[in-house]
Structure 1
Amino acid sequence: DDDDDDDDDERPPGFDLFSADERDPNDEFCLRLGGDGDGDDDTAGTTITLRGVRARNPHLLRSTGLTLWKGSEGLCEYLRANPRLVNGKDVVELGAGLGLCGIAAHRLGARNVVLTDGDTDALATMRRNIDANRDPSGGGGEICARQLLWG
Protein backbone atom coordinates (compact mmCIF):
# COMPACT_ATOMS: atom_id res chain seq x y z
CA ASP A 1 0.00 0.00 0.00
CA ASP A 2 1.48 3.37 -1.07
CA ASP A 3 -0.71 5.44 1.27
CA ASP A 4 2.02 5.35 3.94
CA ASP A 5 4.22 7.65 1.83
CA ASP A 6 1.74 10.55 1.93
CA ASP A 7 3.42 12.06 5.01
CA ASP A 8 6.84 12.37 3.34
CA ASP A 9 8.00 15.83 2.32
CA GLU A 10 8.04 15.97 -1.43
CA ARG A 11 11.06 17.76 -2.84
CA PRO A 12 11.69 18.38 -6.49
CA PRO A 13 14.47 16.32 -8.04
CA GLY A 14 17.89 17.91 -8.37
CA PHE A 15 19.48 20.40 -6.01
CA ASP A 16 18.84 23.89 -4.76
CA LEU A 17 21.21 26.37 -6.38
CA PHE A 18 20.58 28.78 -3.53
CA SER A 19 21.09 26.42 -0.59
CA ALA A 20 24.30 28.21 0.44
CA ASP A 21 22.22 31.36 0.90
CA GLU A 22 20.35 29.77 3.81
CA ARG A 23 23.31 30.23 6.16
CA ASP A 24 23.74 33.20 8.42
CA PRO A 25 26.64 35.51 7.48
CA ASN A 26 28.86 34.16 10.25
CA ASP A 27 31.97 33.18 8.32
CA GLU A 28 34.93 35.38 9.16
CA PHE A 29 37.27 37.03 6.67
CA CYS A 30 40.50 38.55 8.05
CA LEU A 31 42.48 40.72 5.69
CA ARG A 32 45.80 42.35 6.41
CA LEU A 33 46.28 45.35 4.18
CA GLY A 34 49.92 46.17 3.64
CA GLY A 35 52.67 46.73 6.12
CA ASP A 36 55.47 44.24 6.57
CA GLY A 37 55.94 44.93 10.25
CA ASP A 38 59.40 46.50 9.88
CA GLY A 39 58.21 49.98 10.84
CA ASP A 40 59.82 51.58 7.75
CA ASP A 41 56.57 51.86 5.83
CA ASP A 42 54.66 55.16 6.04
CA THR A 43 51.42 53.20 5.92
CA ALA A 44 51.62 50.53 8.58
CA GLY A 45 49.47 47.52 7.92
CA THR A 46 45.93 47.30 9.14
CA THR A 47 43.77 44.25 9.74
CA ILE A 48 40.12 44.29 8.77
CA THR A 49 37.86 41.51 10.02
CA LEU A 50 34.53 41.00 8.27
CA ARG A 51 31.56 38.71 8.77
CA GLY A 52 29.90 37.24 5.70
CA VAL A 53 29.13 34.02 3.83
CA ARG A 54 32.03 32.02 2.39
CA ALA A 55 30.78 30.63 -0.91
CA ARG A 56 32.53 28.68 -3.65
CA ASN A 57 30.13 30.15 -6.21
CA PRO A 58 29.17 33.59 -4.87
CA HIS A 59 27.36 34.55 -8.07
CA LEU A 60 24.75 31.90 -7.17
CA LEU A 61 23.81 33.50 -3.85
CA ARG A 62 20.52 35.36 -3.71
CA SER A 63 22.38 38.34 -2.31
CA THR A 64 25.81 38.88 -3.82
CA GLY A 65 26.48 41.42 -1.07
CA LEU A 66 26.90 38.80 1.64
CA THR A 67 30.23 37.41 0.44
CA LEU A 68 33.71 38.76 -0.17
CA TRP A 69 34.72 39.23 -3.79
CA LYS A 70 38.33 38.90 -5.00
CA GLY A 71 38.09 42.25 -6.80
CA SER A 72 37.48 44.08 -3.53
CA GLU A 73 40.67 42.60 -2.05
CA GLY A 74 42.66 43.83 -5.06
CA LEU A 75 41.14 47.31 -4.88
CA CYS A 76 41.98 47.52 -1.17
CA GLU A 77 45.62 46.63 -1.85
CA TYR A 78 45.69 49.32 -4.55
CA LEU A 79 44.26 51.89 -2.14
CA ARG A 80 46.76 50.86 0.52
CA ALA A 81 49.60 51.36 -1.95
CA ASN A 82 48.12 54.74 -2.98
CA PRO A 83 46.51 56.20 0.16
CA ARG A 84 46.54 59.72 -1.30
CA LEU A 85 43.56 58.62 -3.41
CA VAL A 86 41.35 58.55 -0.31
CA ASN A 87 43.21 60.35 2.48
CA GLY A 88 41.24 63.45 3.49
CA LYS A 89 38.64 62.84 0.77
CA ASP A 90 34.94 62.02 0.74
CA VAL A 91 34.27 58.48 -0.52
CA VAL A 92 31.05 56.81 -1.68
CA GLU A 93 31.03 53.08 -2.40
CA LEU A 94 28.16 51.78 -4.52
CA GLY A 95 27.16 48.17 -3.93
CA ALA A 96 29.53 47.84 -0.98
CA GLY A 97 28.33 44.41 0.15
CA LEU A 98 30.34 43.50 3.26
CA GLY A 99 31.97 46.95 3.17
CA LEU A 100 35.63 46.02 2.71
CA CYS A 101 36.69 48.82 0.34
CA GLY A 102 34.84 51.55 2.22
CA ILE A 103 36.23 50.34 5.55
CA ALA A 104 39.72 50.30 4.03
CA ALA A 105 39.23 53.89 2.80
CA HIS A 106 38.12 54.87 6.32
CA ARG A 107 41.18 53.22 7.87
CA LEU A 108 43.40 54.96 5.28
CA GLY A 109 42.20 58.41 6.39
CA ALA A 110 39.16 59.24 4.25
CA ARG A 111 37.28 62.22 5.71
CA ASN A 112 33.76 60.86 5.16
CA VAL A 113 32.79 57.42 3.84
CA VAL A 114 29.29 56.38 2.79
CA LEU A 115 28.85 52.71 1.91
CA THR A 116 25.71 51.74 0.00
CA ASP A 117 23.87 48.58 -0.94
CA GLY A 118 20.32 47.80 -1.94
CA ASP A 119 19.94 44.53 -0.06
CA THR A 120 18.71 44.86 3.54
CA ASP A 121 20.54 41.70 4.70
CA ALA A 122 23.79 43.00 3.20
CA LEU A 123 23.21 46.39 4.89
CA ALA A 124 22.71 44.81 8.31
CA THR A 125 25.89 42.76 7.93
CA MET A 126 27.78 45.77 6.55
CA ARG A 127 26.77 47.90 9.55
CA ARG A 128 28.09 45.24 11.94
CA ASN A 129 31.33 45.12 9.94
CA ILE A 130 31.66 48.91 10.10
CA ASP A 131 31.17 48.90 13.87
CA ALA A 132 33.79 46.18 14.29
CA ASN A 133 36.37 48.00 12.13
CA ARG A 134 36.19 51.69 13.02
CA ASP A 135 39.55 53.42 13.14
CA PRO A 136 40.95 52.33 16.52
CA SER A 137 42.91 55.58 16.90
CA GLY A 138 39.66 57.54 16.88
CA GLY A 139 41.22 59.86 14.31
CA GLY A 140 39.33 58.49 11.34
CA GLY A 141 36.57 60.40 9.66
CA GLU A 142 32.89 59.53 9.58
CA ILE A 143 31.71 56.22 8.12
CA CYS A 144 28.12 55.05 7.63
CA ALA A 145 25.97 52.69 5.58
CA ARG A 146 22.88 53.69 3.60
CA GLN A 147 20.44 51.83 1.41
CA LEU A 148 20.57 52.71 -2.27
CA LEU A 149 17.95 51.18 -4.55
CA TRP A 150 18.84 51.22 -8.23
CA GLY A 151 16.43 51.69 -11.09
Structure 2
Amino acid sequence: MDTFERTYTLPEGRGEFTMSVVGHKQENGQTLSSTGLTLWRAAEYMNSYLLKRPWSSTGKSYNAMELGSGIGFNGILLSKLNVNGSTTLTDGDTDTLENLVENVERNGGGCEVKQLRWGVDKVERVWDMIIASDVIYVPNVVPLLFDVVTAGLSEVGVFVLAYARRNVKFEMVLEEAEKRGMVWSKEETGVDGENVWVFRKGEGLSEIIVKTRTGREIRLGVKLSDTVLKVKNKLGAVEGLVLPDKQILLMKGVTLENEKTLDQYGVVKGTTIFYRLQDHTGN
Protein backbone atom coordinates (compact mmCIF):
# COMPACT_ATOMS: atom_id res chain seq x y z
CA MET A 1 0.00 0.00 0.00
CA ASP A 2 0.96 3.65 -0.41
CA THR A 3 1.42 6.40 2.15
CA PHE A 4 -0.52 9.64 1.68
CA GLU A 5 0.46 12.86 3.45
CA ARG A 6 -1.45 16.14 3.62
CA THR A 7 -0.63 19.25 5.66
CA TYR A 8 -3.48 21.40 6.97
CA THR A 9 -3.51 24.71 8.83
CA LEU A 10 -5.62 24.35 11.97
CA PRO A 11 -7.83 27.23 13.21
CA GLU A 12 -7.16 29.53 16.16
CA GLY A 13 -3.45 29.66 15.45
CA ARG A 14 -2.97 26.02 16.46
CA GLY A 15 -0.36 25.57 13.78
CA GLU A 16 -0.15 22.92 11.09
CA PHE A 17 -1.16 19.28 11.19
CA THR A 18 0.46 16.82 8.80
CA MET A 19 -1.69 13.75 8.37
CA SER A 20 -0.11 10.49 7.22
CA VAL A 21 -2.33 7.56 6.26
CA VAL A 22 -1.75 4.26 4.47
CA GLY A 23 -4.02 3.01 1.70
CA HIS A 24 -4.35 2.28 -2.02
CA LYS A 25 -4.29 4.82 -4.84
CA GLN A 26 -7.60 5.67 -6.48
CA GLU A 27 -6.41 4.52 -9.91
CA ASN A 28 -6.32 0.95 -8.58
CA GLY A 29 -10.11 1.32 -8.51
CA GLN A 30 -12.86 -0.94 -7.29
CA THR A 31 -11.12 -4.10 -8.44
CA LEU A 32 -9.56 -4.23 -4.98
CA SER A 33 -11.10 -6.59 -2.47
CA SER A 34 -11.95 -3.70 -0.19
CA THR A 35 -12.76 -0.22 -1.48
CA GLY A 36 -12.38 0.94 2.13
CA LEU A 37 -8.60 0.75 1.77
CA THR A 38 -8.55 3.30 -1.06
CA LEU A 39 -8.20 7.08 -0.94
CA TRP A 40 -11.00 8.46 -3.12
CA ARG A 41 -11.15 11.97 -4.59
CA ALA A 42 -14.39 12.87 -2.81
CA ALA A 43 -12.51 12.65 0.49
CA GLU A 44 -10.42 15.66 -0.55
CA TYR A 45 -13.60 17.70 -1.05
CA MET A 46 -14.86 16.66 2.37
CA ASN A 47 -11.70 17.91 4.09
CA SER A 48 -12.00 21.19 2.20
CA TYR A 49 -15.52 21.58 3.59
CA LEU A 50 -14.51 20.65 7.15
CA LEU A 51 -11.73 23.23 7.18
CA LYS A 52 -14.21 25.98 6.22
CA ARG A 53 -16.55 25.31 9.14
CA PRO A 54 -16.14 27.44 12.29
CA TRP A 55 -14.26 25.48 14.95
CA SER A 56 -13.35 26.59 18.47
CA SER A 57 -11.34 24.84 21.17
CA THR A 58 -13.38 26.71 23.80
CA GLY A 59 -16.79 26.72 22.12
CA LYS A 60 -19.31 24.11 21.02
CA SER A 61 -18.35 20.47 21.46
CA TYR A 62 -19.66 18.02 18.87
CA ASN A 63 -20.40 14.34 19.20
CA ALA A 64 -19.24 13.44 15.70
CA MET A 65 -19.26 10.14 13.80
CA GLU A 66 -17.89 9.12 10.42
CA LEU A 67 -19.58 6.36 8.43
CA GLY A 68 -17.49 4.21 6.10
CA SER A 69 -14.28 5.75 7.43
CA GLY A 70 -12.01 3.66 5.21
CA ILE A 71 -8.44 4.81 5.76
CA GLY A 72 -9.58 7.61 8.08
CA PHE A 73 -8.64 10.48 5.77
CA ASN A 74 -11.65 12.57 6.80
CA GLY A 75 -12.31 11.33 10.31
CA ILE A 76 -8.75 11.92 11.51
CA LEU A 77 -8.83 15.55 10.36
CA LEU A 78 -12.28 15.95 11.92
CA SER A 79 -10.91 14.78 15.27
CA LYS A 80 -8.14 17.42 15.09
CA LEU A 81 -10.69 20.15 14.38
CA ASN A 82 -13.28 18.92 16.90
CA VAL A 83 -10.86 19.29 19.82
CA ASN A 84 -13.56 20.16 22.34
CA GLY A 85 -15.77 17.19 21.43
CA SER A 86 -15.62 13.49 20.63
CA THR A 87 -15.09 11.81 17.27
CA THR A 88 -15.85 8.18 16.40
CA LEU A 89 -14.72 6.54 13.16
CA THR A 90 -16.73 3.54 11.94
CA ASP A 91 -16.57 0.98 9.15
CA GLY A 92 -18.16 -2.38 8.51
CA ASP A 93 -15.22 -4.23 6.97
CA THR A 94 -12.83 -6.07 9.32
CA ASP A 95 -9.70 -5.62 7.18
CA THR A 96 -10.46 -1.94 6.75
CA LEU A 97 -10.88 -1.52 10.51
CA GLU A 98 -7.45 -3.01 11.19
CA ASN A 99 -5.80 -0.54 8.83
CA LEU A 100 -7.96 2.29 10.20
CA VAL A 101 -6.78 1.68 13.76
CA GLU A 102 -3.17 1.80 12.58
CA ASN A 103 -3.76 5.07 10.71
CA VAL A 104 -5.39 6.65 13.75
CA GLU A 105 -2.40 5.65 15.88
CA ARG A 106 0.01 7.04 13.24
CA ASN A 107 -1.62 10.42 13.75
CA GLY A 108 -1.62 10.55 17.53
CA GLY A 109 -5.00 9.00 18.27
CA GLY A 110 -7.71 11.29 19.58
CA CYS A 111 -10.68 9.37 18.22
CA GLU A 112 -12.48 6.07 18.77
CA VAL A 113 -12.73 3.34 16.12
CA LYS A 114 -15.75 1.01 16.05
CA GLN A 115 -17.36 -1.48 13.69
CA LEU A 116 -20.75 -0.41 12.37
CA ARG A 117 -22.44 -2.61 9.77
CA TRP A 118 -25.38 -0.88 8.14
CA GLY A 119 -28.56 -2.87 8.47
CA VAL A 120 -26.99 -5.14 11.10
CA ASP A 121 -25.64 -3.11 14.01
CA LYS A 122 -27.84 -0.77 16.03
CA VAL A 123 -26.95 2.91 16.35
CA GLU A 124 -26.50 3.29 20.09
CA ARG A 125 -26.38 7.07 20.54
CA VAL A 126 -27.30 10.40 18.97
CA TRP A 127 -24.77 12.51 17.08
CA ASP A 128 -24.47 16.25 16.39
CA MET A 129 -22.55 15.59 13.19
CA ILE A 130 -22.32 12.55 10.90
CA ILE A 131 -20.00 12.56 7.89
CA ALA A 132 -19.45 10.11 5.04
CA SER A 133 -17.38 10.22 1.83
CA ASP A 134 -17.90 8.14 -1.28
CA VAL A 135 -19.90 5.42 0.47
CA ILE A 136 -22.60 4.81 -2.15
CA TYR A 137 -21.63 2.17 -4.74
CA VAL A 138 -24.88 0.27 -5.33
CA PRO A 139 -28.54 1.35 -5.04
CA ASN A 140 -29.46 -0.93 -2.14
CA VAL A 141 -27.09 0.83 0.28
CA VAL A 142 -28.95 4.15 -0.02
CA PRO A 143 -31.87 3.26 2.32
CA LEU A 144 -29.45 1.50 4.68
CA LEU A 145 -27.33 4.65 4.87
CA PHE A 146 -30.33 6.82 5.67
CA ASP A 147 -31.59 4.29 8.22
CA VAL A 148 -28.35 4.90 10.13
CA VAL A 149 -28.45 8.66 9.63
CA THR A 150 -32.06 9.18 10.70
CA ALA A 151 -31.59 6.93 13.74
CA GLY A 152 -28.33 8.54 14.81
CA LEU A 153 -28.66 12.23 13.93
CA SER A 154 -29.85 14.69 16.57
CA GLU A 155 -32.80 16.95 15.79
CA VAL A 156 -30.46 19.90 15.11
CA GLY A 157 -27.54 17.86 13.76
CA VAL A 158 -26.00 17.77 10.29
CA PHE A 159 -25.19 14.88 7.97
CA VAL A 160 -22.37 15.80 5.59
CA LEU A 161 -22.04 13.59 2.50
CA ALA A 162 -19.24 13.81 -0.07
CA TYR A 163 -20.70 12.12 -3.13
CA ALA A 164 -18.72 10.59 -5.99
CA ARG A 165 -20.33 9.63 -9.28
CA ARG A 166 -20.76 5.84 -9.26
CA ASN A 167 -23.45 3.45 -10.45
CA VAL A 168 -26.03 5.30 -8.35
CA LYS A 169 -27.66 8.51 -9.57
CA PHE A 170 -27.63 11.22 -6.93
CA GLU A 171 -31.33 11.80 -7.54
CA MET A 172 -31.87 8.46 -5.77
CA VAL A 173 -30.05 9.83 -2.72
CA LEU A 174 -32.16 12.98 -2.68
CA GLU A 175 -35.37 10.97 -3.11
CA GLU A 176 -34.46 8.85 -0.08
CA ALA A 177 -33.62 11.95 1.95
CA GLU A 178 -36.97 13.48 1.01
CA LYS A 179 -38.79 10.33 2.16
CA ARG A 180 -37.12 10.81 5.55
CA GLY A 181 -38.28 14.42 5.78
CA MET A 182 -34.78 15.84 5.38
CA VAL A 183 -33.68 19.12 3.79
CA TRP A 184 -30.34 19.65 2.08
CA SER A 185 -27.94 22.07 0.45
CA LYS A 186 -24.85 21.73 -1.76
CA GLU A 187 -21.85 23.15 0.09
CA GLU A 188 -18.72 22.18 -1.86
CA THR A 189 -18.51 21.70 -5.62
CA GLY A 190 -15.96 19.41 -7.22
CA VAL A 191 -15.59 17.95 -10.70
CA ASP A 192 -17.49 15.22 -12.53
CA GLY A 193 -20.49 15.51 -10.22
CA GLU A 194 -18.47 15.02 -7.03
CA ASN A 195 -19.91 17.42 -4.46
CA VAL A 196 -20.36 17.85 -0.72
CA TRP A 197 -23.96 17.97 0.50
CA VAL A 198 -25.30 18.84 3.94
CA PHE A 199 -28.54 17.22 5.14
CA ARG A 200 -30.66 18.17 8.15
CA LYS A 201 -33.83 16.79 9.65
CA GLY A 202 -36.45 19.08 8.20
CA GLU A 203 -39.88 17.62 8.95
CA GLY A 204 -42.15 20.43 10.09
CA LEU A 205 -39.35 22.97 9.70
CA SER A 206 -39.00 26.15 7.68
CA GLU A 207 -35.61 27.17 6.35
CA ILE A 208 -34.43 30.70 7.19
CA ILE A 209 -31.17 32.40 6.26
CA VAL A 210 -28.87 33.78 8.95
CA LYS A 211 -26.30 36.19 7.51
CA THR A 212 -23.14 37.13 9.44
CA ARG A 213 -21.20 40.39 9.26
CA THR A 214 -18.64 38.75 6.96
CA GLY A 215 -21.38 37.83 4.49
CA ARG A 216 -21.52 34.15 5.35
CA GLU A 217 -25.02 32.68 4.92
CA ILE A 218 -26.23 29.92 7.23
CA ARG A 219 -29.35 28.02 6.18
CA LEU A 220 -31.14 26.92 9.34
CA GLY A 221 -34.23 24.74 9.76
CA VAL A 222 -36.54 26.21 12.41
CA LYS A 223 -40.13 26.09 13.59
CA LEU A 224 -41.79 29.47 13.32
CA SER A 225 -43.01 28.94 16.89
CA ASP A 226 -39.39 28.71 18.11
CA THR A 227 -38.21 31.45 20.43
CA VAL A 228 -35.29 33.63 19.42
CA LEU A 229 -33.27 32.03 22.22
CA LYS A 230 -33.93 28.59 20.74
CA VAL A 231 -32.67 29.81 17.36
CA LYS A 232 -29.50 31.07 19.03
CA ASN A 233 -29.02 27.69 20.68
CA LYS A 234 -29.45 25.99 17.30
CA LEU A 235 -26.80 28.24 15.81
CA GLY A 236 -24.47 27.10 18.56
CA ALA A 237 -25.36 23.42 18.19
CA VAL A 238 -25.33 23.21 14.41
CA GLU A 239 -22.73 25.77 13.39
CA GLY A 240 -20.48 25.96 16.46
CA LEU A 241 -21.11 29.69 16.94
CA VAL A 242 -20.62 31.45 20.26
CA LEU A 243 -22.90 31.01 23.26
CA PRO A 244 -26.39 32.58 23.02
CA ASP A 245 -25.68 35.37 25.52
CA LYS A 246 -23.02 36.72 23.13
CA GLN A 247 -25.29 36.66 20.06
CA ILE A 248 -27.46 39.43 18.65
CA LEU A 249 -30.05 38.63 15.97
CA LEU A 250 -31.48 41.46 13.89
CA MET A 251 -34.30 41.75 11.36
CA LYS A 252 -35.09 45.01 9.56
CA GLY A 253 -32.83 46.83 12.01
CA VAL A 254 -34.71 45.52 15.07
CA THR A 255 -32.93 43.45 17.73
CA LEU A 256 -34.89 40.24 18.32
CA GLU A 257 -35.71 39.54 21.97
CA ASN A 258 -34.90 36.09 23.34
CA GLU A 259 -38.32 35.28 24.78
CA LYS A 260 -40.31 36.17 21.66
CA THR A 261 -41.09 33.70 18.89
CA LEU A 262 -40.14 34.00 15.24
CA ASP A 263 -43.73 34.28 14.07
CA GLN A 264 -44.23 37.23 16.44
CA TYR A 265 -41.67 39.05 14.31
CA GLY A 266 -43.31 37.96 11.06
CA VAL A 267 -40.60 35.48 10.13
CA VAL A 268 -41.58 33.13 7.29
CA LYS A 269 -39.75 30.55 5.19
CA GLY A 270 -36.81 32.20 3.42
CA THR A 271 -36.59 35.20 5.78
CA THR A 272 -33.08 36.61 6.26
CA ILE A 273 -31.95 37.37 9.81
CA PHE A 274 -28.68 39.12 10.56
CA TYR A 275 -26.26 37.71 13.12
CA ARG A 276 -23.87 39.86 15.16
CA LEU A 277 -21.72 39.48 18.25
CA GLN A 278 -22.00 41.85 21.18
CA ASP A 279 -18.48 43.11 20.42
CA HIS A 280 -19.61 43.72 16.79
CA THR A 281 -16.80 41.63 15.31
CA GLY A 282 -19.16 39.23 13.51
CA ASN A 283 -18.24 35.62 12.80
Taking structure 2 as the reference length, the TM-score comes to 0.37
CA apart distance, 1:79? 0.9
* Equivalent in the alignment of 2:36: 65
User: Is contact 2:26-2:40 (8 Å) kept?
Assistant: no
> Which residue among 75, 83, 96 is the counterpart of 1:122?
96
Q: Which runs of 5 or more residues in structure 2 are unaligned? A: 120-283
Is it true that 1:53 corresponds to 2:44 in the alignment?
no
CA distance in 2 between counterparts of 1:134 and 1:83 reads 23
Q: By percentage of residues, which structure has more helix?
A: 1
> Which residue among 52, 59, 62 is the counterpart of 1:89?
62
* Equivalent in the alignment of 2:247: none
Query: Which letter maps to 1:30?
Result: E
Are residues 56 and 129 of structure 1, via their aligned partners in 2, closer, same or farther at CA, if it must alter by over 3 Å? same
User: Is contact 2:12-2:56 (8 Å) kept?
Assistant: no
Query: Which letter maps to 1:93?
Result: E
* Equivalent in the alignment of 1:107: 80
User: Once the two structures are aligned, what percentage of the paired residues are identical?
Assistant: 34
User: Is contact 1:91-1:102 (8 Å) kept?
Assistant: no
How many equivalent residue pairs? 116
Is it true that 1:144 corresponds to 2:112 in the alignment?
yes
CA distance in 2 between counterparts of 1:116 and 1:54 reads 21
1:103-145 CA-partner distances (Å, limit 9, x unpaired): 001111341111111111110000000001126xxxxxx4111
1:30-86 CA-partner distances (Å, limit 9, x unpaired): 012247xxxx97463321000112241422222110011111111112211224399
User: Is contact 1:107-1:134 (8 Å) kept?
Assistant: no
Higher relative contact order (CA 8 A, sep 6+): 1
Taking structure 1 as the reference length, the TM-score comes to 0.67
Q: By percentage of residues, which structure has more strand?
A: 2
CA distance in 2 between counterparts of 1:126 and 1:95 reads 11
Q: Which runs of 5 or more residues in structure 1 are unaligned? A: 1-25, 136-141
